[in-house]
Structure 1
């Protein structure tokens, strides 16, 4: 093998290892001596695309087309660039050009389906995924992408069936299998089947014991189901793996507060805010914890700070309403509650049962507010 082609081989190896700068350097040196080498131009285009240098990548793929107009990879490469740019119409055009040259390429069909999905043409996308599956029933991606579309349509059982096929095909490929399992867990969460979702997240942890996303999801599910000790255990694992994860301190603090340990809740909210002083959820939760301790002035500061961070976040207004009710300031309470309900009408349910608003429920203004259509 000549020294020049050794450079090409080195570039391909470095590209496979995601060492993009080194790969690009090798490909450029190779092309200095062999400017019309189709493989070198294509591989450089892929490396540039992976690095995000889209304009030059497009030029390299166009050069491949000039060198060999029948090679579908030039059109596939240009389609990849257009997908990254968000120009899905152009991506469709290039994928079709590629498929004219390689009509039974299931990878191209799968990518074309994704492009149509992005364009909002779901019926065409589904038909293309079906075509890919007919051509290669053991190719997992079309099942996965088809399932994602079925979820959007609320066709959960069909989505699950397709994901289970994809799982069976990816048993030996951990990264792909993990992606499909996350999608399946999300479907079960959409269906409010937390038991199944927990099982699937558990399968992910069997593949990757310290998968942060799965640990966070499990903590959140247990928190939503008032299983506070289990939630705390998962968020502890997240904090150990990622000490700068402000949300983990927030969620653990909330769980501790629900268990009645407000002092420790405040400690964890402080840790959260030390990492991210603008975490609106922590600001509002800290205000609520201080309010529970009767520290009303301090609580109000944090509620108003949360509103400064995001004036469209409903809970600080609701908490201010509770604070004003506890102070006996009925007018301010109604005003803040109105703001909260305008942002989130679902808070009516909380207002109807919240003990801090109990005295206001006899108020005509309070009853009128809850009877209003806030949509």
Structure 2
């Protein structure tokens, strides 16, 4: 009954002060909107309940900002979090949600919109890094990945090593850091021209995955990636490349898709197409499935046979 009253509620005088009864009904309305994923309505209803004169109302403002964030109204979310930061410059949750908001606006991290925001999170959270381990790890993960994707390997390594050393007792964080290093070194190996250089990067990649297995011997992801690295090492040592495949990725109209992903299923082995949709890829022995994907397109899986040419046409 009270729930029905809330959704049928209309104020007789919008300019009048909100009574305690009306406040209760509006609060019920906002909670109902939120529960039914009408986030924008929830945020705007909660906003009517804000008392600017009230002290310690940061939680109320954060509630509004998170509702806008969950409703993908990122501009409004950013405005709310910015207002909180302006009012309370050391309030870490607002910095974290600001960074998340900008990350959502750049889901492929192509523009790096969240970079300065997560860098600020590191500064604010760093005032007590052990207390704020979760926030520190979120920022380090984003910044490590962003720099790795942009080819800034030295800086990416610094972030991944900070993850490893942040809390010596936290095994999960160490594993995340070593996974980042392993992926980074294998990515660098794929871009290296000389066989000797490839082997150097692959040795470091293997070491990172071995460190994970020393912490967690049953870690399936590390086992799979270590196996892939070792196959890669064996291929390089032979001085041959028997597992190189190539092809072109296009859309349904036959137009090339640049920066499409070509990946071996359930491994870290991956490459991207060039501006002409072309790719050339060294795959580990025993690979079974190729996964083609691109933002805005339906992923496609292709069984690996004796062929060395695999073209893909992705539908939207």
What are the superposed Cα offsets for residues 345-373 of structure 1, whole Å, 9 maximum, x if unpaired? 5467xx8xxxx999521xxxx45xx3486
Q: CA deviation at 1:249?
A: 0.8
Looking at structure 2, the residues matched to 282 and 126 of structure 1 have their Cα atoms a distance apart, in angstroms, of: 42
1:87-106 alignment, distance < 5 Å? none
Q: Which protein, 1 or 2, shows the higher relative CO under an 8 Å CA cutoff with sep ≥ 6?
A: 2
Looking at structure 1, the residues matched to 54 and 209 of structure 2 have their Cα atoms a distance apart, in angstroms, of: 51
Change (3 A) 1:357 1:326: farther
What are the superposed Cα offsets for residues 36-58 of structure 1, whole Å, 9 maximum, x if unpaired? xxxxxxxxxxxxxxxxxxxxxxx
The residue aligned with 1:360 is: 308
2:33 and 2:41 in contact (8 A); partners too: yes
The residue aligned with 2:158 is: 233
* Bigger CA radius of gyration: 1
User: Is 1:336 the counterpart of 2:267 in the alignment?
Assistant: no
Change (3 A) 1:237 1:120: same
* TM-score normalised over the length of structure 1: 0.51
Q: CA deviation at 1:133?
A: 3.1
What are the superposed Cα offsets for residues 80-117 of structure 1, whole Å, 9 maximum, x if unpaired? xxxxxxxxx8xx99xxxxx9857669xx9779745641
Looking at structure 2, the residues matched to 126 and 346 of structure 1 have their Cα atoms a distance apart, in angstroms, of: 35
Q: Secondary structure at the match of 1:154?
A: coil
The residue aligned with 2:246 is: none
Which of 130, 140, 162 does residue 47 from structure 2 map onto? 130
Looking at structure 1, the residues matched to 292 and 115 of structure 2 have their Cα atoms a distance apart, in angstroms, of: 33
User: Is 1:144 the counterpart of 2:144 in the alignment?
Assistant: no
1:110 and 1:142 in contact (8 A); partners too: no
Q: CA deviation at 1:135?
A: 5.8
Change (3 A) 1:360 1:195: closer
Looking at structure 1, the residues matched to 157 and 268 of structure 2 have their Cα atoms a distance apart, in angstroms, of: 28
Q: Secondary structure at the match of 2:50?
A: helix
Q: CA deviation at 1:137?
A: 8.3
Change (3 A) 1:316 1:199: closer
The residue aligned with 1:254 is: 183
The residue aligned with 2:244 is: none
Which of 215, 225, 228 does residue 285 from structure 1 map onto? 225
Q: CA deviation at 1:269?
A: 0.5
1:207-226 alignment, distance < 5 Å? 207-209=124-126, 210=129, 211-226=136-151
1:103-182 alignment, distance < 5 Å? 113=30, 116-122=33-39, 124-133=41-50, 139-171=57-89, 174=90, 177-182=91-96
Higher share in helix: 1
2:299 and 2:314 in contact (8 A); partners too: no
Q: CA deviation at 1:123?
A: 5.0
1:8-87 alignment, distance < 5 Å? none
Looking at structure 1, the residues matched to 75 and 225 of structure 2 have their Cα atoms a distance apart, in angstroms, of: 38
Unmatched 5+ stretches in structure 1? 1-88, 94-98, 297-312
Looking at structure 2, the residues matched to 276 and 119 of structure 1 have their Cα atoms a distance apart, in angstroms, of: 41
| Aligned pairs, number | 235
Higher share in strand: 2
Q: Secondary structure at the match of 2:234?
A: coil
Q: CA deviation at 1:130?
A: 1.9
User: Is 1:185 the counterpart of 2:138 in the alignment?
Assistant: no
Change (3 A) 1:246 1:115: farther
* TM-score normalised over the length of structure 2: 0.59
